[in-house]
Structure 1
């Protein structure tokens, strides 16, 4: 066999061996890539993403797209060849597996956690939007009862708290304030309207029923909080507003759509068209006070946004430096820290004063 042919054959065999090894060798990494985007002002699977009852709504234009990231599953075992490809690709990111999935977490647990975070982000977005629009809560209800606490079996999710120790409640924060005035081991008296009756009042647009037979007195002995020794009963409270909001978006998990849901709701319930017809995308968690928090995979989300046609991307301030390292061409990264910041950015875009936008910069 000629030497040249032998050398070529050897090289081919070595290449085949390397490729086979790359396919067979498993590495502890996961891959992130751009996911789908959805316009919160539009429809998804033939239904409006946002539906509002009990308040006037208005026509909107443009886009306020929430963005997502595709992540390889908890049970997926990446091979070396895939990892190398991901490291070299511009539209993918390879990260350590444990940074995405803690040890001993099952696929069902990941899915459940993502669903819970998504539900929480919807609730926070609703609260932030309605607070921004000037709505006052119509009820303060028990959002959750923690296991192995004094409230378990005594109070239930959906119970409306009318008073604590006889003091009327108008905001959820007042419940914790009144409970922590006690020392651990003391009794706290809750005046409640049971969940069924509270929900019926909301649906009928009526105030909570009052008086004997309509309310119940529940006395609970407080326990000591393990972290700081404060008195607690073991409930989480949340406001309920006289507006029914339905966010329909299946197969999406995690908390990162909160900001865009809140903006979509404000736009839907505001007479002025907040986008001015522009294509705006973004990401970020949000709490009930309108504070925008950081998220993961921001670089993949900017790619997804630009591929969908976005011109502007609302970026949580703690993600700005990372997003600005390699931004997609034609996408303006706007830094936001609160819902008010985001609304101010929409005004600048709408008015054409984009030179005033606070832009992200790499540090």
Structure 2
């Protein structure tokens, strides 16, 4: 064998070895895949996914499925280059930068904790939205969720405090607090009426300019608020270790369906996604492509799609899956009624 041939063989082998080694180098990307899909009218193991006490419920046989996205990768458990390349070639998989799922300086544990909290919040909002549609009375209060250390509210307001009034204005929703504080300039005092351990007291807090660079000069006191609800019925939703807010719409429909005698689905396999507010507004979610694939694989023929996700959904909808556009829970109920009876218009995601 000539020296030149030997050199070429050695170089080729070296390139092959380096390529194989390089394929297993961890890369800062996350693979998003279709995840499990679960019927809100069904069971999780032997437990009904939605359990309601304090009101009559009705047995259901249809499907109102929420869908999820499974992810692979992340800090401390990165995927390798080969997995990323294979995902880029798979139309059902999305390869996204790690920071899109795990922001810098935020631990994986913190992200998972936030997802769990968002899931709990979405369940409460879904219950409020469903009971609102059923015209069942719900009492709403605003409470302190957390206090930011180093800002004026620290040491004055506590987690669990109910905000009864701000500067004499009675408070029913969290935006009302921000609206009153926003009328002040940094350095001015805001008077909070707080209910703590059943007793009302007045707490003065001085505003400061927001340390957030995206809102320079905005007056803040350093509290995170949330709305707390008192419902006339008790609703418990069991979803295991699923997190995030995107199942809100389907939870609200499942609760509504269980509390009404007629089945919403009309025998169809309905799946969908979307965040929900207590007032029933439906918001956009991430991973729409993977969620549609998961729904279709499970047998869904109709997919409830938030309006703001319609463009992406139309571009990648699986064959045989009808996209129904939704803005509100009320609109979703009307669309399901039209699908069930064949009467009335069914809003569709517009084609590009």
The answer, yes or no, to whether TM exceeds 0.5 is yes
2:64 corresponds to which residue?
A: 64
2:37 corresponds to which residue?
A: 37
| 1:338 and 2:339 aligned | no
Superposition pairs of residues 119-158 of structure 1, within 5 angstroms: 119-138=120-139, 140-147=141-148, 148-158=150-160
Distance 1:15 1:336, change over 3 A: farther
Q: Is the CA contact (8 Å cut-off) linking 1:185 and 1:231 kept in structure 2? A: no
Report the alpha carbon displacement of residue 92 of structure 1 after superposing the two structures with TM. 1.7
Aligned equivalent of 1:190, options 188, 193, 199? 193
Distance between the aligned counterparts of 1:51 and 1:31, measured in 2?
Answer: 34
Distance between the aligned counterparts of 1:230 and 1:129, measured in 2?
Answer: 35
Distance between the aligned counterparts of 1:67 and 1:277, measured in 2?
Answer: 19
Distance 1:154 1:16, change over 3 A: same
Q: Is the CA contact (8 Å cut-off) linking 1:141 and 1:158 kept in structure 2? A: no
Give structure 1 stretches of 5+ with no counterpart.
198-214
- SS of the residue corresponding to residue 303 of structure 1 reads helix
TM-score, structure 2 normalization: 0.82
Instruction: Using the TM superposition, name which of 182-191 and 63-72 deviates more.
Output: 182-191
Report the alpha carbon displacement of residue 166 of structure 1 after superposing the two structures with TM. 6.7
Q: Cα RMSD (Å) of the superposition?
A: 3.2
Give structure 2 stretches of 5+ with no counterpart.
none
Instruction: Using the TM superposition, name which of 169-178 and 286-295 deviates more.
Output: 169-178
Distance between the aligned counterparts of 1:351 and 1:62, measured in 2?
Answer: 15
- SS of the residue corresponding to residue 78 of structure 1 reads coil
Aligned equivalent of 1:238, options 224, 227, 232? 227
The number of residue pairs the alignment matches comes to: 336
Superposition pairs of residues 22-101 of structure 1, within 5 angstroms: 23-74=23-74, 75-101=76-102
Listed one character per residue, the Cα deviations across residues 25-78 of structure 1 (whole Å, up to 9, x for unaligned) are 443322111100111111112211112233332222301100001111313332
